[in-house]
Amino acid sequence: MIKNNRLTKEQYQQNFSDIHPPFETQDAALVEANRCLFCYDAPCTKSCPTSINIPKFIKQISTDNIKGSAHTIFQSNIMGAGCSKVCPVEKLCEGSCVFNLMHETPIHIAKLQRYATEKAIDQKWQLFERKKSTGKKAAIVGAGPAGLSCAHVLSREGIDVTIYEKESKGGGLMTYGIAAYKVTPKFCEDEVNYITSIGGIEIKYDQELGKNISLVELQKRYDVVYLAIGVGLARQLDIPGEDATGVIDAIKFIYELRNNDFSSLAVGDRVAVIGLGMTAIDAATQAKRLGAKEVTIIYRRTEAEKPCTDVELDIAKLDGCNIIWLAAPKEVKSINGKVNQLVCSRMKLGEPDASGRRSPVDTNDTFELDVDMIIKAAGQTPFEKLVSDISIINTKGKIEIRNCASNIKGVFAGGDCVNGGKEVVDAVQAGKDGASSILSYLGIKNE
Amino acid sequence: MADISSNFLGIKSPNPFWLASAPPTDKKINVLRAFEAGWGGVVWKTLGSQVKNVSSRYSAVDYGGHKVMGFNNIELISDRPLEINLREIEECIKLFPDRAMIVSLMADNDKKSWHELIKKVEDTGAHGFELNFGCPHGMTERGMGAAVGQDPEIAKMVVEWVMEVATIPVITKLTPNVHSVVPTGRACVEAGTNALSLINTIQSVTGIDLDTLVPNPFVAGKSVFGGYCGPAVKPIALKMLTTIAQDPVTSKVPISGIGGVSTWKDAVEFLLLGASNVQVCTAVMKHGFRIVEDMCEGLNNWMDEKGYATLNDFIGKSVEKITHWEDLDINYHIIANINQDKCIHCGLCYIACEDTSHQSINLEYGKPYNTYSIKEDECVGCNLCKLVCPVDNCISMVEKRKGDEYLNWKDYQRLGLPLNDH
């Protein structure tokens, strides 16, 4: 049965508290900072999509120069605080820490990054100065990581930025699309306010492209437009019975979770989650933590091909989620319009596909799973209709860019709407790259 | 099992580890705890002139997250009544007759004061004296401590006064706050001291509070130079010990080594450079008396491994290995080698060599891991890369002699051999 209010207030609080708690004391941060070897041309920095000078910011923590440390981080990644909580660091900076090669625990880079950046946000340190206004105006569509990152660089260089955001809060996926135990709504709000506190950035909320605003209008009123509209449509399963009550998509599920009181969120007794990306893991663990008795993740390939990291998979396993490998959804069966069974095909691995991974092949053998809720997390698709309607050249909805510029003069794009959906940190870098191209386009020298 | 017992001027102790004259040895309760823990002997905190100590007496230097790499103090000699000290010394000797009891002395600068003090202390049954000619703070302003040790003439005079009446062995403790410890050391030996001990603490400022701008330790808004000690001073102490052990006059008497001894390995190094035993203070002030257990066990195991039956089998064995620079072999040449299987690609060797040494390491870009290798023709064998490498035995220095024969700088000049051309 799908119902809400399954747990006590204390249980909700415990289940959704910080999964990666911060250093409790300065001494604890110092011990860790002092463990860092201060590598030259460091592998961690090379593995960060935004190239944060990690050895430098850690060294600055150890010399008690926290302000300098936060500056070092934000200089490369203005969402460094959020990234310290949501980045899959095990496959980025921490994954390449040289300590791994000595079979030692890698430096807790994310935790140290959080230590410095949280202090900066809490203390409202203004670490950047906006240059005198150039009189140039930029419109950015989307106040997610790419949009905010682009806005911050442009504002620093004296551009007046207006961001149009379709939601009522900024932060994009950080605010609406990530498991609640990683970031809180309060943190997301503080982070957005911290970024815009430099000045020269206005965010207009509840303004959706194609609804409240049009690209043509923006082009008229601004010198440049930067599209950072992300992705957002959940990939459909295209199987019989998919429209039954109790079948929802993970994006919507997490969106609701991030916008409502936990006790108001309904979840089934037996939940199936389709897919094994980061969003699937988030959906599975959050469903379990909302009080679902049984959560089963269905994945069509084997562990070797999984898109999530080992660390993420471990979280799901430790939460008690089951995983069925080599299984693909075939049909949703329901009673009175409500889901009661998921029929799955057993798969086997065939030849490698375009992704280089061995593709799943149906064995025609099936099994049934008794479930009362199905969460679809089989990936997201870009806003193909939206971008096609405004004549932007795209590939299946992914905007085509050259040096961050779209086919329309003065219209730039970056982030998930271009790459189809990557990490927050990739979007931040895209925003920086976009800003850099925009500045060249406007004839402003970028520092 | 090796025999680690020590005989210093006939003063016997079950091991060569004494506690130096300092706060840990200033009263019965501490000294009994030290003996119970296994310390071979103590040098009782300096008795003599009447003093009163200030509050806030210590400060430290931390490094890379490690506490107390160096330590300093501005505490003077014992400020307890002499009679209580004497009574407690006597009681400790009775309770632990197998341990060494040395009493540190610093009388006012006149013969009478020294003579009276010596007689009173000898009545306790103490086994020896240590003359404090080294305390670098406070007492010096009154012409005592390091003020005596810094002037060979005065030191000689005081030792002579002491030797006139002392009937038990006398050790003279030297100050490092001089350009060389040898002149005072010689003067004291010539005046008849039975032994020398070194080093006392080094005058220092450990740091400044960047909020109050007052140096440490903070005493009501002011500070004063303090005596520096702990692991940071060991290399300086070893150098000074060597000069005493190599000098024809001072090497005639036994030496008690002091200065940053924290482990059995440190102790072995002092003994190898000529000390007959060692004195410890800072390490116990950081960890307590229990560290002596590992010091004894570690020393014992090392001696067994090396086949030394007694301490005398290895005392002084490294003294002759420290020579003059001009006698070093110029034909000895080593070249760094990086073991690629062990390398973790941290780049520390590269940046150290590139920025500050001889640009002898090649960087081959890789993402995320660069590959580093030695340019053998450029490497001068300075050891820097090996020293900064965080992986044990990853970088080794391989011997590639420039010539088979021993060739020192004097010969090099005489033969008119070529100097570097770049």
Residue of A nearest to B354 (CA): A40
Tell whether B138 is covered by a domain. yes
Contacts of A223 (CB under 8 A, 6+ apart): A136, A137, A138, A410, A442
Cis peptide before B368 (omega within 30 of 0): yes
- pLDDT at res. A64: 94
Residues B22 and B74 in one domain: yes
Q: State the nearest Cα–Cα gap between A68 and chain B, in angstroms.
A: 17
Measured CA to CA, the distance from residue A238 to residue A329 in angstroms comes to 10
Quickly list DSSP for B389-408: -SSTTTEEEEE--S-SS---
Q: Which of A429-438, B140-149, B262-271 has the lowest mean pLDDT?
A: B140-149
Tell whether B282 is covered by a domain. yes
Query: From chain A, which residues contact B within 8 Å (Cβ)?
Result: 30-31, 33-35, 37-44, 46-47, 62, 96, 98-99, 101-102
What are the structural domains, with CATH classification, of chain A? 21-122 (1.10.1060.10), 137-232+381-441 (3.50.50.60), 236-378 (3.50.50.60)
Judge contact between A119 and A68, C-beta under 8 A: no
Contacts of A19 (CB under 8 A, 6+ apart): A179, A181, A182, A315
Measured CA to CA, the distance from residue B77 to residue B74 in angstroms comes to 10
- pLDDT at res. B137: 78
Residues in chain A with CB shorter than 8 Å from the CB of B345 are 39, 43, 98, 101
Judge contact between B228 and B249, C-beta under 8 A: no
- What pairs with residue A137 in β-bridges? A160
- Dihedral sign from CA coordinates of A144, A145, A148, A151: negative
Quickly list DSSP for B137-149: SSGGGGT-THHHH
CATH number at residue B267: 3.20.20.70
Measured CA to CA, the distance from residue B389 to residue B316 in angstroms comes to 32
Residues in chain A with CB shorter than 8 Å from the CB of B351 are 40
pLDDT-derived band at A234 (thresholds 50, 70, 90) equals: confident
H or E element, residue A369: strand A358-370
The ipTM (two decimal places) reads 0.89
Q: State the nearest Cα–Cα gap between B66 and chain A, in angstroms.
A: 9
Residues B176 and B279 in one domain: yes
Q: State the nearest Cα–Cα gap between A342 and chain B, in angstroms.
A: 44
- pLDDT at res. A136: 97
- pLDDT at res. A447: 60
Tell whether B162 is covered by a domain. yes
B343 is catalytic: no
Mean pLDDT of chain A: 95
H or E element, residue A373: strand A373-376
Select from B295, B321, B347 the last residue of a domain.
B321
Measured CA to CA, the distance from residue B147 to residue B53 in angstroms comes to 19
Contacts of A275 (CB under 8 A, 6+ apart): A250, A297, A298, A299, A376, A377, A378, A379
For residue A355, the one-letter residue type is S
Q: What is the mean pLDDT of residues A26-55?
A: 97
Residues B49 and B150 in one domain: yes
Residues B288 and B397 in one domain: no
Q: Which one is catalytic: B92, B135, B343, B349? A: B135
* Residue A226, phi then psi, degrees to nearest 5: -120, 120
Tell whether B124 is covered by a domain. yes
pLDDT-derived band at B147 (thresholds 50, 70, 90) equals: confident
Judge contact between A117 and A85, C-beta under 8 A: no
Judge contact between A347 and A327, C-beta under 8 A: yes
* Residue A335 pLDDT exceeds 80: yes
Tell whether B47 is covered by a domain. yes
Residues B184 and B94 in one domain: yes
Burial bucket for residue A422 (CB in 10 Å: 0-12, 13-18, 19+): middle
Q: At what angle do helices B292-306 and B264-272 cross, to 10 degrees?
A: 50
Residues B336 and B238 in one domain: no
Tell whether B422 is covered by a domain. no
Check A101 against B344: CB less than 8 A apart: yes
- pLDDT at res. B382: 97
- The pLDDT > 70 percentage for chain A reads 100
Burial bucket for residue B412 (CB in 10 Å: 0-12, 13-18, 19+): middle
Measured CA to CA, the distance from residue A332 to residue A342 in angstroms comes to 5
Check B344 against A31: CB less than 8 A apart: no
Inter-CA distances, A75 with A57, A208, B334, B346, Å: 11, 30, 44, 24
Sheet with strand B58-63: strands edge to edge: B58-63, B66-73, B226-229, B202-204
Tell whether B1 is covered by a domain. no
How far does chain A reach from its first CA to its final CA, in angstroms? 58
For residue A30, the one-letter residue type is L
Return the percent helix, strand and coil in chain B, to nearest 5.
Answer: 35, 20, 45
Half-sphere exposure of residue A423, counting CA atoms within 13 Å on the CB side? 22
Residues B107 and B187 in one domain: yes
Measured CA to CA, the distance from residue A429 to residue A52 in angstroms comes to 11
Measured CA to CA, the distance from residue B255 to residue B96 in angstroms comes to 24
Quick one: which of A430, A431, A447 has its CA closest to A157?
A447
Residues B199 and B263 in one domain: yes
Q: At what angle do helices A109-122 and A54-62 cross, to 10 degrees?
A: 70
Measured CA to CA, the distance from residue B260 to residue B268 in angstroms comes to 13
H or E element, residue A60: helix A54-62
Residues in chain A with CB shorter than 8 Å from the CB of B350 are 40-41
Structure tokens at B361: 């390491």
- What's this model's pTM, rounded to 2 decimal places? 0.92
For residue B94, the one-letter residue type is K
Residue of A nearest to B346 (CA): A39
Select from B287, B304, B321 the last residue of a domain.
B321
Provide the strand spans (E) within B310-374.
334-338, 361-364, 371-374
Contacts of A79 (CB under 8 A, 6+ apart): A145, A148, A149, A174, A191, A195, A424, A425, A428
H or E element, residue B92: helix B82-95
Q: What is the mean pLDDT of residues A114-125?
A: 97
pLDDT-derived band at B422 (thresholds 50, 70, 90) equals: confident
CATH number at residue B410: 3.30.70.20
Contacts of A54 (CB under 8 A, 6+ apart): A42, A44, A45, A48, A93, A109, A113
- pLDDT at res. B135: 77
For residue A277, the one-letter residue type is G
Q: What is the mean pLDDT of residues A311-338?
A: 96
Residues B197 and B146 in one domain: yes
Interval B39-70: pLDDT, tens? 999 999 999 988 999 999 999 999 988 899 99
Structure tokens at B23: 């706060």
Structure tokens at A118: 């949280």
Judge contact between A306 and A22, C-beta under 8 A: no
* Residue A144 pLDDT exceeds 70: yes
Interval B264-318: pLDDT, tens? 999 999 999 999 999 999 999 999 999 999 999 999 999 999 999 999 999 999 9
Interval A249-289: pLDDT, tens? 999 999 999 989 999 999 999 999 999 999 999 999 999 99
Half-sphere exposure of residue A236, counting CA atoms within 13 Å on the CB side? 6
Structure tokens at B419: 């100097």
Interval A171-227: pLDDT, tens? 999 999 998 899 999 999 999 999 999 999 999 999 999 999 999 999 999 999 999
- pLDDT at res. A446: 67
How far does chain B reach from its first CA to its final CA, in angstroms? 56
Provide the strand spans (E) within A137-223.
137-141, 160-164, 201-204
Q: What is the mean pLDDT of residues A70-79?
A: 98
Judge contact between A186 and A193, C-beta under 8 A: no
Residue of B nearest to A33 (CA): B65
**Three-state SS at A430:** helix
H or E element, residue A335: strand A327-335
> Among B211, B346, B367, which would you mutate to test the A interface (most chain A Cβ atoms within 10 Å of its Cβ)?
B346
Q: State the nearest Cα–Cα gap between A103 and chain B, in angstroms.
A: 10
Judge contact between A189 and A183, C-beta under 8 A: no
Residues B13 and B143 in one domain: yes
Task: Give the residue numbers spanning the domain of B393.
Answer: 326-414
Contacts of B29 (CB under 8 A, 6+ apart): none
Residues B395 and B292 in one domain: no
Residue at token pair 């959080």:
A114
Q: What is the mean pLDDT of residues B352-378?
A: 97
Residues B295 and B371 in one domain: no
Interval A364-422: pLDDT, tens? 999 999 999 999 998 889 999 999 999 999 999 999 999 999 999 999 999 999 999 99
Measured CA to CA, the distance from residue A149 to residue A79 in angstroms comes to 7
Residues in chain A with CB shorter than 8 Å from the CB of B340 are none
Select from B321, B336, B360 the last residue of a domain.
B321
> Among B62, B208, B211, B344, which would you mutate to test the A interface (most chain A Cβ atoms within 10 Å of its Cβ)?
B344
Report DSSP state, residue B181: S
- pLDDT at res. B243: 98
Measured CA to CA, the distance from residue A186 to residue A338 in angstroms comes to 36
Number of domains making up chain B: 2
Report DSSP state, residue B122: H
Judge contact between A424 and A173, C-beta under 8 A: yes
Tell whether B419 is covered by a domain. no
- pLDDT at res. A168: 95
Quick one: which of A177, A380, A363, A351 has its CA closest to A275?
A380
Nearest by CB to A47, from B350, B368, B390: name it: B368
